[in-house]
Amino acid sequence: MRHEHTDKHQRIVFEDVLKERRYQDRQWGHGVDDTKNTPWMWTAYVCSYATKWMKDPFRFKREDTDEFYDRMIQTAAIAAAACESVLRQRDMNGKTFYEPN
């Protein structure tokens, strides 16, 4: 059964992810060559961001939940950057630099 607020919440989350992704682009610029990041490197970035909020798993406060939300948005935006990199490389070269010939 679909929750009645699902569409509203999904829209908010994806808007927040897109806003964070645009912030990351402004922060790092387009001069950074992320096409040299291997899938292993992208996964390490995602894992790093996904776990930065973790402190004491048995004592959650509202601020912890707020930080969890923010970190998950950042994590999703980094995962989106990894996907963008794959598509950009394939558009430019027909494949990524780490795919076999």
Measured torsion, CA atoms of residues 69, 7, 77, 41, in degrees rounded to the nearest 10: 90
Q: How far apart are CA 25 and CA 50, in angstroms?
A: 19
**Predicted local distance difference test score (pLDDT) of residue 31:** 61
Q: What is the pLDDT of residues 65-91, one digit of tens each?
A: 888 899 999 999 999 999 998 998 888
Can you give the pTM of this predicted structure? 0.83
Contact assessment for residue 49 and residue 78, using Cβ atoms and an 8 Å cutoff: yes
Whole-number average pLDDT of the chain? 86
54-72 burial: b if 16+ Cβ within 10 Å, else e: eeeeeeeeeeeeeeeeebb
> What is the average per-residue pLDDT within 54-62?
71
Domain ranges for the chain: 6-93
Query: Is the confidence at residue 63, as pLDDT, over 80?
Result: no
Contact of 46 with 75, CB cutoff 8 Å = yes
